[in-house]
Chains A and B, each alone.
Chain A
């Protein structure tokens, strides 16, 4: 069944809260039904919390917008119960190619090894991502969504935040114990609280043209510097479902955004790329500039900022929506523990430290890519052109070509929730790292076995018995037979007895060479902000 998610309009419905004699209480109010708000709400609901999701509009994303969803995001969607739909609909890709003028100069495979359930990336229009998340949210009775409900004011109280909500029928007030502000780059909540996001803006403009056509380009990311069909500027091509192609044309700072949006300006640019006889229709056009910026802190008492509301990056690297989804899963399990009284509210400060560090990593990568694509002075332009020229015959220069360093999840190296290694380990699965997937017997996958909640991942012939702890803990034992290909043991540098403590967001927080219930208990206390 095909649903045109972009054209769906949702009903405003009056809530009993609007005529309640007393202020209605809600444990969590999530503001903004974009990808980040929806993912946060689903994650909270899956841990049994009642969630109210408010959106000031009554529709999903207008235009394809964020289209590249990374492997880690897909793994999060798996845990949220909608990964298969995303991957079935999306265009899977792993390979990026870079051209300079007419010549291929460099290509990169973002997932060069096998044994992963999910690909490096899928391309999928943001309205499908939101639509599939919304369908999943609709299956969870804990989630209530109120469309056309705009937060107009916030008032902090000792026991929560009082929200004034505007509706077509006037204002009403509610009390939220915690608010997750996922209300986008222009975040009205950020403004209402007198907070700001600061950073750098780049003097360049880009045209996005979504084009509907039948074409035989492969499902790869193609990036041109100075191509003959668009001289002196760059062009990026991506494939989307439904025979839609995303083309980004760099225009330069002097371009007139109003003029460049007009079909009579856009069509010749597309024709120059596709050939003069190409048959296509324009699906969506937008002209944009971009910035790299973030708020100084993402947690402000009982209000927590996530996604574009908290931080912004340039689009090269697909680090916007992907990092927002990682914000969502980072805050969701922590809020759930705090609201159930199983962790102190100071646990929420670790959201701030972990995700601010992640935002800085994303901003750094995205700024470096932008400095390469949009040289900011004549010297940077000369070095950029020199790199592209040398890349033809000097291998070292290909490593310097930067058309976007694509989204990877952050490792929370310095997190206060980590327990430092006492035993010797090799490889990537250091405390703070996002757990790597691996194939298991009978078509199963390691990340699917981990699921959500705190998990003790043990490698050995028999499962250890964990005495009851204050925080619920599941034990997943991987026997040599389960790990038929041996990839789980390789990726986790595991020997019989190796034990990992995995957080609900599937990041490693501690590991040992042998199972010791006391060490596990201490690490669990630490990972829940009680250590």
Chain B
């Protein structure tokens, strides 16, 4: 079960550290850091049910405005 109750002992310290690792980065560089961070944390959590709940909450309320590079085909 995904814990959405307060769980960080020092929330402001955490938030400052999160911003600090993105300091002076281009959006592309920031994306790389975020991707690594998500992978490291996901493995640490390990519980697929929790991860799915977190993924679902993260995606909530966003209507796709882009398009993936695949094509539907009929042969």
Residues of A within 8 A of B (CB): 185-186, 196-203, 253, 291, 293, 312, 376-379, 382-383, 385-387, 389-390, 394, 396-397, 400
Given contacts A379-B31, A394-B40, contact A200 B69 (CB under 8 A): no
Task: Determine the distance from Cα of A201 to Cα of B69 in the docked complex, in whole angstroms.
Answer: 9
For A375, give the chain B residue with the smallest CB separation: B69
**Interface set of B (CB-CB < 8 Å, partner A):** 31-32, 34-36, 38-40, 43, 66, 68-75
Q: Of all chain B residues, which has the CB nearest A312?
A: B75
B71 touches A201 (CB 8 A): yes
Is there an interface contact between B73 and A199, defined as CB atoms closer than 8 Å? Answer: yes
| Cβ A386 vs Cβ B71 within 8 A | no
Q: Complex Cα distance A400/B36, Å?
A: 13
Q: Are B75 and A186 in contact (CB under 8 A)?
A: yes
Q: What does DSSP make chain A's interface, helix, strand, loop or mixed?
A: mixed
With A200-B70, A376-B68, A396-B43 known as contacts, the answer to whether A385 contacts B75 (CB < 8 A) is no
User: What is the number of contacts between chain A and chain B, taking CB atoms within 8 Å?
Assistant: 67
* In contact, A198 and B74 (Cβ under 8 angstroms): yes
Are A291 and B73 interface neighbours, CB within 8 A?
A: yes
Do B31 and A376 touch (CB < 8 A)? no
| Smallest CB separation, A27 vs chain B (Å) | 30
Of all chain B residues, the one with the shortest Cβ separation from A377 is B68
Closest to A395 in B: B43
Q: Is the CB of A376 within 8 A of B70?
A: yes
Question: In the bound complex, how far is the Cα of B19 from the Cα of A490, in angstroms?
Answer: 55
CA distance A395 to B42 in the complex (A): 14
Q: Name the distance in Å between A301's Cβ and chain B's nearest Cβ.
A: 21
Are B40 and A390 neighbours in the complex by a CB distance under 8 Å?
yes
Are the C-beta atoms of B75 and A377 separated by less than 8 Å? no
Q: Which residues of B contact A293 (CB under 8 A)?
A: 73, 75
* 23 residue pairs A–B, Cβ–Cβ below 8 Å: A198-B74, A200-B72, A201-B71, A201-B73, A202-B71, A203-B70, A291-B73, A293-B75, A312-B75, A376-B68, A376-B69, A377-B69, A382-B34, A382-B35, A383-B39, A385-B35, A386-B32, A386-B35, A386-B36, A389-B32, A396-B43, A397-B43, A400-B39
8 Å CB contact of A378 from B31, B39, B72, B73: B31
Q: Contacts of A378 on B, CB cut-off 8 Å?
A: 31
* Bound-complex Cα distance A377 to B32 (A): 14
For the complex of A and B, the 9 pairs showing the least CB-CB separation, nearest first, are A386-B35, A203-B69, A382-B35, A396-B43, A376-B68, A201-B71, A386-B36, A201-B73, A382-B31
On chain A, the residues within 8 Å of B66 by CB distance are 377
Query: Does B70 contact A201, Cβ atoms closer than 8 Å?
Result: yes
| Nearest chain A CB to B46 CB, angstrom units | 9
Could you tell me the distance in whole angstroms from the C-beta of B55 to the nearest C-beta in chain A?
13
Q: Please determine whether B69 and A397 come into contact, CB atoms closer than 8 angstroms.
A: no
Known: A201-B71, A383-B39, A386-B38. 10 other contacts (CB 8 A): A198-B73, A200-B71, A202-B69, A291-B75, A293-B73, A312-B75, A378-B31, A382-B31, A394-B43, A396-B43
Assuming the contacts A376-B69, A383-B39, A390-B39, asked whether A185 and B32 have C-beta atoms less than 8 A apart, the reply is no
- Also in contact, A203 and B35, with CB within 8 A (given A377-B66, A390-B40, A394-B40): no
Quote the shortest CB–CB distance from A67 to chain B (angstroms): 23
Q: Which of A186, A198, A379, A386 contacts B39 (CB 8 A)?
A: A386
> Are A196 and B71 neighbours in the complex by a CB distance under 8 Å?
no
Known contacts A377-B69, A382-B32: A185-B39 contact under CB 8 Å: no
A309 to chain B, nearest CB (A): 10
Contacts of B38 in A (CB 8 A): 383, 386
Q: What residues of B have a CB within 8 angstroms of the CB of A377 in the complex?
A: 66, 68-69
Which residue of chain B is the closest to A253 with respect to CB atoms? B69
Of the residues B36, B40, B70, contact of A202 by C-beta under 8 Å:
B70
CB-CB nearest in chain B for A397: B39
CA distance A197 to B75 in the complex (A): 5
Q: Contacts of B43 on A, CB cut-off 8 Å?
A: 394, 396-397
The interface residues of chain B lying within 8 Å CB-to-CB of A382 are 31-32, 34-35
> How near does chain A come to B31, taking the closest CB pair, in angstroms?
5
Report the separation of the CA atoms of residues A7 and B21 in the bound assembly, to the nearest whole angstrom: 62
A203 and B72 CA atoms in complex are apart in Å by 11
In whole Å, how far is A363's beta carbon from the nearest beta carbon of chain B?
Answer: 13
Chain A contacts for B69, CB-based, 8 A: 202-203, 253, 376-377
A186 to B38, alpha carbons, bound, how many Å?
A: 42
Contacts A376-B70, A377-B68, A377-B69 given; does A196 touch B35 at CB 8 Å: no
Question: What A residues does B31 contact at CB under 8 A?
Answer: 378-379, 382
**B36 and A390 form a contact (CB under 8 A):** yes
Alpha-carbon separation in the docked complex, A101 to B61 (Å): 38
